[in-house]
Structure 1
Amino acid sequence: MNRTTHAILAFALLAGASIMALPASAQEARAPDPAATAVPSVTAVELVRWPAAEARQGVAADKEYFYPNANNRIGKYDRKTGRRVAQWEGPRALFPHMNSCVVEDRELICAASNHPSVPMASVIEVFDTATLRHVRSIALPPIPGSLTWIERKGDDWYGGFANYPVERGGEPGHDNRWTRLVRFDSHFRATGSWLFPDAVLARFAPMSNSGGSWGDDGLLYVTGHDRPEAYVMRLPKAGSVLEHVATVALPTAGQAIAWDRTQPRVLWSLDRATNTVVASRVPPVPVTP
């Protein structure tokens, strides 16, 4: 089965299921691995780093605060001081795996799943940024993979669905080649689906797509689980496979990311090994959307 047929069949399944200023330091990330430089590459420059106990999966930010998250915990931290001002923790039985969050108006929109349980099921958990109170859950239709990130672009929502080998919590027959980007309408009905190119899947391996966020340049920046890199993707003019157009060397290793919508070209990420949150400035990439 070729990749185009694979994508068509997969999307048929979806349709059938109804379906503050930042203080400046100047620590640069390592240069991209030569294996990832078949496309143009740039290096992000670290601006600030804060410790955060919840920095295990992802981090979001608004003008005044940043919000790191773990599987069933979210912290709220002052961007000027790095001081935690609030924390939420939910029962692990109900919140087994929140992988990332993004600020949308006055809400945190969090991508969650039942990972590593199978069959995989995905849900969007919504929180009030002022209080961190859990507001609602949006159960998604059956889609191959676990939702790892979700973000709005225009009138649509885009989400990454990770697939893993069985020994890493995947479903039989669905390794990371089944990892996909899915577009939803405002009612979270799937309206499009794209696979990742082999070169990016190889960088994800043996894991999958952990984070994603749309840049102000119209390009999609995605991360894997382990490597200190973000892969810049473009929707294809034709076909079913995303285009890898550039690579960004990051000062952090994998996990979820979020663009800062209040500072130009500032990307938030985390260092899981040290439980720290990092904001970096990413140079413009020499490609067009």
Structure 2
Amino acid sequence: MMISKNFKLYFLVLTGIFLHMQSFSQSVTEIKKFKVAEAKQAVAVDDHFFYVINNSTIGKFTKKDGKLVTTWDGTSEGIKHLNSGVVIKGKLYCANSNYPEIPMASSVEIFDVNTMKHVGNHSFGIAEHGSLTWIDQKDGFWWIGFAHYSGKEASEGRDVRWTSLVKFDLEWRQTESWIFPKNIVELFTPKSNSGGAWGNDGLLYCTGHDRPELYVMKLPKSGYTLEHIRTLPAEIYGQGIAIDHSIKDKQIIYGLNRATNTITLSEIK
């Protein structure tokens, strides 16, 4: 039977579209969870432990069974609003801000994960970009989320639209920055971008403040606006997240649910 060239072309186009859709399909499946009373702000993770961050405190827990190993309390040191953290080569780097005070001021607080002692600090002072909410490292650069808010928490007439991703070199010198697309800004509002982490797939996973969603982003080929790839429903209700880079063959993300004081482990497929 003869098949027309037009039909063949149509079939190839449909096949291409189908494969394209398949390559971009993703889902988030919860695989484990731990009840942690202090699960309010964020979670970080390394090879054997996860770290629960809550304003002025950090708890170190075993990944295997969720048992508390030790805690750090920065109340006496004036730490009031740790937002998130990332573990890099034995050090926990935490985003710290003076939220909801105005003018916004931010710093990075550094801890030795073995001793859980505070070992360093990088201060942005009054941060021109906004309130530091999350930090990650990729390709030899720091990637930092700076938030702006709406309503009474807005700073100097700026609202959520001013929220940005800023890239720094390892000496904290800014190299580039991007804004979020309008549809994501609307989902952040009236709060802002609370968490972010680079995945093993080279994509950026972001959260807002409350919605049970992950926003998958990538850098644009041109312009200044991050590209929104997709939105993934997830049992992660905003706040600070972490990708477990110690697992190479799977993409495991740690998140939390403030309402139930739960740390969740999910697989992104």
Normalising to structure 1: TM-score of the pair?
0.81
Q: What is the aligned partner in structure 1 of residue 252 from structure 2?
A: 266
Residue of structure 1 equivalent to 2:144: 159
Aligned residues: 243
Determine if the alignment matches structure 1 residue 189 to structure 2 residue 173: yes
Q: Deviations over 1:54-73 (max 9, x none)?
A: 21111011121110100010
Q: Is the Cα–Cα contact under 8 Å of residues 111 and 124 in structure 1 kept in the other structure?
A: yes
User: Which structure has the larger Rg over C-alpha atoms?
Assistant: 2
8 Å contact from structure 2 (residues 150, 189) kept in 1: no
Matches within 5 A, 1:225-264: 225-263=209-247, 264=250
Q: 2 CA distance for matches of 1:170 and 1:115? A: 11
Counterpart for residue 203 of structure 2: 219
RMSD: 1.3
Moved over 6 A (4+): none
Q: 1: CA distance between counterparts of 2:222 and 2:86? A: 29
1:55-101 Cα distance to aligned partner (Å, 9 max, x none):
11110111211101000100001111211010111126621111001
Larger % of strand: which? Answer: 2
Q: Residue in 1 aligned with 2:95? A: 111
Q: Is the 8 A contact 1:236 1:242 kept in 2?
A: yes
Matching residue within 22, 46, 51 for 1:62: 46
- Displacement after TM superposition at 1:51 (Å): 1.3
Q: Indicate which of 116, 119, 142 corresponds to 1:135.
A: 119
- Is the Cα–Cα contact under 8 Å of residues 166 and 172 in structure 1 kept in the other structure? no
Q: Give me the whole-angstrom Cα distance separating, in 2, the residues matched to 1:112 and 1:90.
A: 11
Shift of 1:268: 0.4
Q: Which amino acid aligns with 2:115?
A: T
Deviation per CA, 1:16-47, whole angstroms, max 9, x where unpaired?
xxxxxxxxxxxxxxxxxxxxxxxx66331111
Q: Tell me the residue number matched to 2:109.
A: 125
Q: Give the Cα–Cα distance (whole angstroms) in 2 for the partners of residues 236 and 275 of structure 1.
A: 36
Look up the match of 2:131. 146
Residues 196, 56 of structure 1: CA spacing in aligned structure 2 closer, same or farther, 3 A cutoff? same
Match of 1:201 in 2: 185
Q: How far apart are 1:247 and its partner, in Å?
A: 1.5
Q: Which has the higher contact order (CA 8 A, sep 6+)?
A: 1
SS in 1 for 2:183: helix
CA distance in 1, matches of 2:82, 2:204: 21
Determine helix, strand or coil for the equivalent of 1:88: strand
Match for 1:171 among 155, 158, 162? 155
Gaps in structure 2 of 5+ consecutive residues = 1-23
Which residue pairs with 1:280 in the alignment?
A: 266
Identity among equivalent positions (%) equals 46
The TM-score with structure 2 as length reference comes to: 0.87
Residue 85 in structure 1 maps to residue 69 in structure 2 = yes
